[in-house]
Amino acid sequence: MALKVGQKAPDFQLPNSEGQDIILNQNLPCIIYFYPKDFTPGCTAEACSFRDNHQVFKNLDIAVFGISKDSVDTHKRFKAEHQLMFELLSDTSGKVCKSYEALIPLVGLPKRVTYLIDKMGVIRAVYSDMFGATNHIKSMISQLKVE
């Protein structure tokens, strides 16, 4: 399961690919998407999908953050290799993934789940699909067109 629409999004502080701390409540509204692992086919397709549609979110002044348990260094390489214009955040402990109900039980890898969070820190849309990596971006764009 994932957190529900209407819930307050748990605040967090995580390092980005440059090692600088990002605080959720200082970057609202935003989309955060959790994903299993850098450089895997599905996660690469998802990241590139967000990259290719980044202007949609930029025009609406909505930040995008990808979160996995990968290290800052791995994120830095992944971001550079795929020319990502948004931040990747490193949750090596998995605490933030857990607070967003985005951890696969027993395995400990992040699930593929995406949240749209408004300027008040309230979850406005959720999309969870482990295998439909590129559907996450489509879902968020359609949610934004409804609002």
- CA-wise closest residue to 143 among 127, 122, 121: 127
Q: What is the reported pLDDT for 143? A: 74
How far is residue 108 CA from its own chain's centroid?
17
Q: pLDDT at residue 11 above 90?
A: yes
Q: pLDDT at residue 146 above 50?
A: no
What is the fold, at CATH topology level, of the domain defined by 13-146? Glutaredoxin (3.40.30)
In the chain, where the domains are located:
13-146
**Separation CA 144–CA 44 (nearest Å):** 23
pLDDT digits (tens, 9 = 90+) for 95-119: 999 999 999 888 889 999 999 999 9
pTM: 0.90
List of residues 6+ apart from 72 with CB closer than 8 A:
15, 16, 17, 18, 19, 90
User: What are the angstrom distances between the C-alpha of 75 and each of 68, 93, 97?
Assistant: 9, 15, 16
Question: 50 by DSSP, 3-state: which?
Answer: helix
pLDDT digits (tens, 9 = 90+) for 23-35: 999 999 999 999 9
Q: Which of 30, 43, 48, 97 is catalytic?
A: 43
Active site residue 48: no
pLDDT digits (tens, 9 = 90+) for 48-91: 999 999 999 999 999 999 999 999 999 999 999 999 999 999 99
**Separation CA 13–CA 25 (nearest Å):** 9
Q: Could you identify the residue written with the tokens 């931040």?
A: 87
